[in-house]
Amino acid sequence: MIAKRAQEIAPFLAMEVLERAVELEAKGDHIIHLELGEPDFPTPACIQEAAARAVMEGKTGYTHSLGILPLREAIAEHYHRKYGVQVSPERILVTAGTSPAMWMVFSAILEPGDQVILSNPHYACYPNFIRFCGGEPVTVAVHEDDGFQFRPEAVKGRVGPRTKAIFINSPANPTGTLLLAERMAALAGLGPLVVSDEIYHGLVYEGREHSILEFTDRAIVFNGFSKAYAMTGWRLGYAIVPPELIRPLQKMHQNFFISANAFVQAAGIVALRAAQPDVERMRATYDERRRFIIPGLRRLGFGVATEPTGAFYVLANAKRFTTDSYAFAFEILERAKVGVTPGVDFGSNGEGYLRFSYANSKDNIAEALRRLEAFLTHRSG
C-alpha cells in the first residue's frame, strides 16, 4: 500500500528523542530539553496583537496564492534594507513555513537523478526533501577545525553534469556556523544554482550574515518567521526565486495548498516592520546563553573546536565518550534526564557529536550541565 518514497523516508531523530522524553515526563521524570530547535520565547506581543486584530477585521479567507502583496512588499523591503538587494515582490512565494517552500521548490526543479550538493553534517530534513522529490543528495564533508564551513574547492570537486544545485545554510543547523562572504561568493561562482536556507538570519552573535542574493541572482532563498521571531507554530515562511520559477510554483501552490493563512500573513508584516527590538532582545539573550554553554561543555570534556556564532546550537565533539551518538543521546536522556540530539541525525560526519540547543533558560542550561557532569563522572568511575 505504501509508496517506496514514503517507506524510505528517514525519521527525524531529534523528534524521536523528544518523543521518548515526553514518555519519561509522563512517568514523572523531570527532563531538561536541549534537543529542541525551537525558541523558548513567546511570540512578541506586537505580532500577537496584529494577528488578533486581523482576525477581528475578518482577514480569515483564502488569499492570493503567492501571498498577500503587502507581505511580499514587506519581505522585499526587508531584503533591501538588510542586504541592499533588489527583490521584486513578484519573485516571492509565501508559504505555511519554510519547510513547505522547500518541498515546493525541490518538486519544481528536480528531475529524477538530479543532484543537490549538501554539507555533511546538514539539517536533517534536507536530504529527505531532495530524495522525496526524485533527486539525489551529494554530501561534502565539513570539519569542526574549519568551523564546519563549506570549502568551495571541495564543493567544486563534486560538481558534475547532474548537479542541479548547491544547498547552503548560514547560520547553520546543527553547527551554528556562518559562511564567510568570500566563500559564499566562490560558491556562487561555481555555476550551479545556489539554494540558500536563511531561516537563522537575525540570530547572529559575531560577524554578519549574508544573503546569497548579495552574490548572485541565480539563487533561491528560503526564509521564514519561525526562529528569529519565535513563531514556529504560526507556520509562515517564503521562497525568493528566479522570475521563471514563480509561475510554476504559483500553479503548484494554487493546487496543493491554495494559500498561506490570511491572518498569519497580516501578522508577518508587523513582524518585519515592528518587531526588530524584540528580535534584538531575544538575540542578546541567546548570546548570553551561548557564552555560558560553550565553556560549560568544554569543562565537561566535550570538544568545541570553533565557537558557533549563529542560530542557537552547539555541535559538540563527544568522541571522547562515544562512537555511537544515537545510543549516547538516549543514555543521557534516560540517566541524566537531559534531552540532546545525536549528531548522526545530521549526516554520517555528525557521528560522534551531540547537538545542544541553547534555546532554553540559563538556569535550565546550568542544571543540565550539572546533571551531565554527575552522569559523566559516574559513567567513567
Ligand X SMILES: Cc1ncc(COP(=O)(O)O)c(C=O)c1O
Residues within the interface to ligand X (CB under 6 A): 37, 97-99, 123, 169, 173, 197, 199, 224, 226, 232, 237
- Measured from the Cβ of residue 20, the count of other Cβ atoms closer than 10 Å reads 17
Q: Please name the residues in contact with 164: beta carbons below 8 A apart, sequence gap of 6 or more.
A: 109, 110, 111, 114, 115, 116, 135, 192, 193
The H-or-E segment that residue 240 falls in is: strand 237-240
- Cis peptide preceding 171, ω within 30 of 0: yes
Residue 99 or 120: the one with the smaller Cβ distance to ligand X is 99
We find the least distance from the C-beta atom of residue 131 to ligand X, in angstroms, to be: 17
Residue 313 or 375: the one with the smaller Cβ distance to ligand X is 313
Residue 224 or 342: the one with the smaller Cβ distance to ligand X is 224
- Measured from the Cβ of residue 185, the count of other Cβ atoms closer than 10 Å reads 15
We find the least distance from the C-beta atom of residue 232 to ligand X, in angstroms, to be: 5
Residue 37 or 44: the one with the smaller Cβ distance to ligand X is 37
Q: Please name the residues in contact with 252: beta carbons below 8 A apart, sequence gap of 6 or more.
A: 104, 107, 108
Q: What's the CA gap between 201 and 25, in Å, rounded?
A: 33
We find the least distance from the C-beta atom of residue 311 to ligand X, in angstroms, to be: 8
For the chain, how big is the Rg over CA atoms in Å?
21
Residue 100 or 352: the one with the smaller Cβ distance to ligand X is 100
28: left (phi over 0), alpha (psi -120 to 50) or beta: left
Maximum Cα interatomic distance, the chain, rounded to a whole number of Å: 64
We find the least distance from the C-beta atom of residue 291 to ligand X, in angstroms, to be: 22
Residue 118 or 199: the one with the smaller Cβ distance to ligand X is 199
We find the least distance from the C-beta atom of residue 308 to ligand X, in angstroms, to be: 14
We find the least distance from the C-beta atom of residue 173 to ligand X, in angstroms, to be: 4
What residues are paired with 165 via a beta bridge?
Answer: 116, 193
Residue 38 or 324: the one with the smaller Cβ distance to ligand X is 38
Cell numbers for 286: 541567546
With beta carbons less than 8 A apart as the criterion, state whether 195 and 220 touch: yes
We find the least distance from the C-beta atom of residue 64 to ligand X, in angstroms, to be: 20
Return the sign of the alpha-carbon dihedral for residues 195, 290, 225, 174.
Answer: positive
We find the least distance from the C-beta atom of residue 314 to ligand X, in angstroms, to be: 14
Return the sign of the alpha-carbon dihedral for residues 299, 302, 305, 308.
Answer: negative
Residue 44 or 337: the one with the smaller Cβ distance to ligand X is 44
